[in-house]
Amino acid sequence: MAASREQFGSRLGFVLAAAGSAVGIGNLVGFPVNAAKNGGGAFLLMYAIFVFTICVPVMMAELAAGRNSAKGPLGSYASLTNNNKPWSIAGWLSTITPFMIAVFYTVITVWIFEYLYNALTGDLAELAKPETFGAFINGGDIFIHLAVVIGIVNLILVGGVKEGIERSAKILMPALFLMLIGMVIFVLTQENAMAGVKFYLIPDFSKITGPVVSGALGQAFFSLSLGMGILITYGSYMDKRSSIASSAKMVAIADTSVAFCAGLMILPAIFSFNPQTDPTQLSDSSVSLIFTFLPKIFLALQGSVGYFGASVVASVFFLLVFFAALTSLVSIIEVPAASLVDQKGYSRKKSLLVLNLGMILFTIACTASFGMVGWLTEFTEYAGSTKSLFDVVYDVFYDTILPLNGLLICLFVIYRWKKHNLDAELETGDDGFKGSFLERYMHFSLGTFIPVILALIFINTVAIKFF
Ligand code: PHE
């Protein structure tokens, strides 16, 4: 059935869709906070080096395996190894991981939707109260908002690759870029903003420690949506005339630029409206920053731009994050959806229906694990503390299995699928690739130090998280 497989309509469409997947909450909030706390410009430099020396080769490997097999991860690993059993485990891992990450990402996207809805319709003073977050995540409305988010994501997905994913990315991504630029300009013109820019950008190499280095790599890896089967799946919809190398570079540049601009929006905002900010008080967690700290800043804005102006800024901010989260969610649900279509022969609609039933069940369980249901809230215990179902999903899939999936794809393309097949796919649609520096670099890096680094991260995370 490979001949009838849908494809992205243009290279720009592919790049926007893949950038839509890559640009998410991680870029808009996680990156700025990490950069500001961990060495500013020094962190940025290190992050950019990781993106281009480690993440781009892994991204190209995923795209090549996907495009060559014209299948999602389950089918890719199977068909490129003639159904080798051990490798099919890698295919399963790359299919279950996105499903579970989609579950916890949906939970957070629903919270963002709650804040967006309230910024548009409600009072910012209410939104900025410390107890609001707790009340929201345990309020009955959350299930209505969950239905809205799942509804929007499915409306996009049911349209298919070209009419759904590509078309929505072509609207949502430019809108996101424009809103981001608008917010950056607005924030930078506020009083005291330069203190934030300095705090964000002045390099402090003394902050670069071992954990900061591995944190930066983890952030880059996650930010480019690697290890989730997404790029294998999107690769399977790529046409043979496009260059994988230059598309991957464009996605990486777009993703890194958005992360960089997000820093220029968030840090100066914090400093401008809260000049006494003690940098060390910034929480590591993106979640607490978006949902507890930033609403206070939006409220403080009322002093300078008025009640209405502050609500507009808050709404634009949450809309920005919501769009970013939507395009990421679409990409991640596409992975198991494509697998059901490829492997079980389901129609797209049937596969989405089956997946949604599972997802809704898990998402409701995770949503209820913040206090609504006792046994889900105190689901298990490891590393000396009680963990909710949400914590377990996060720790296992997000933190641990992602680097493992990355490790497996590197070993797979070089040692099992073999370099010459990888090369042939990368050379397709790219006349300059054969014999290039990038080609030699791909062989060397994917066969040596990248898997070693990913293996170390995996082992280290297991040791820290679970023991
Ligand atoms: N790259 C996304 C981010 O930075 C991560 C992600 C992608 C999460 C796809 C879920 C689905 O937020």
User: Any idea what the CATH number is for the domain that residue 95 is in?
Assistant: 1.10.4160.10
Give every CB contact of residue 43 below 8 A, 6+ residues apart in sequence. Answer: 34, 35, 207, 208, 212, 216
Ligand 1 proximal residues by C-beta, below 6 Å: 21-22, 24-27, 101, 105, 222-223, 225, 328, 331-332
Instruction: State residue 274's pLDDT score.
Output: 73
Q: Is residue 383 part of a domain?
A: no
Question: Best substitution site from 55, 105, 322 to test ligand 1's pocket, by max atoms within 8 Å of Cβ?
Answer: 105
| Mean predicted lDDT score pLDDT of the chain | 92
**With 60 as the cut, is the pLDDT of residue 256 above it?**
yes
pLDDT value of residue 267: 87
Q: Indicate the number of domains in the chain.
A: 1
Rounded CA-CA distance 123/220 in Å is: 36
ipTM above 0.90, yes or no: yes
Alpha carbon distance 49, 51 (integer Å)? 5
Closest ligand 1 atom number to CA of residue 224: 1
Q: Is residue 121 part of a domain?
A: yes
Mean pLDDT of 328-339: 96
Q: For ligand 1, what atom is nearest to the CA of residue 331?
A: 9
pLDDT value at position 284? 62
Pocket perturbation via mutation, ligand 1, pick of 59, 222, 397 by most ligand atoms within 8 A of CB: 222
Whether residue 375 has pLDDT greater than 90:
yes
CA-CA distance, 201 to 213, in Å (whole number)? 17
Q: Are 98 and 228 in contact (CB under 8 A)?
A: yes
| Model confidence band, residue 398 (pLDDT cutoffs 50, 70, 90) | confident
- Mean pLDDT for 424-443 is 95
Could you tell me if residue 296 is inside a domain? yes
The answer as to whether 149 is a domain residue is yes
Give the residue whose CA is nearest to atom 8 of ligand 1. Answer: 328
Question: Closest Cα to atom 9, ligand 1: which residue?
Answer: 328
CA distance 121 to 143: 18
CA-closest residue to ligand 1 atom 2: 24
Q: How far is the CA of 330 from the centre of ligand 1 (A)?
A: 10
Domain range spanning residue 237? Answer: 7-369
**Residue 398 is assigned to a structural domain of this protein:** no
**What pLDDT digit, counting tens, does each position of 204-254 carry?**
999 999 888 988 998 999 999 999 999 999 999 999 999 999 999 999 999
Please report the atom of ligand 1 found closest to the CA of residue 31. 4
Task: Evaluate whether residue 161 is within a structural domain.
Answer: yes
Question: What pLDDT is stored for residue 247 in this prediction?
Answer: 97
Q: Which of 23, 51, 101, 225, when mutated, tests ligand 1's pocket best, judged by the most ligand atoms within 8 Å of its CB?
A: 225
Q: Is the Cβ–Cβ distance between 32 and 269 less than 8 Å? A: no
In a domain, 72, yes or no: yes
pLDDT of residue 280: 59
pTM of the model: 0.94
Counting every residue, how long is the chain? Answer: 467
pLDDT at 324 over 90: yes
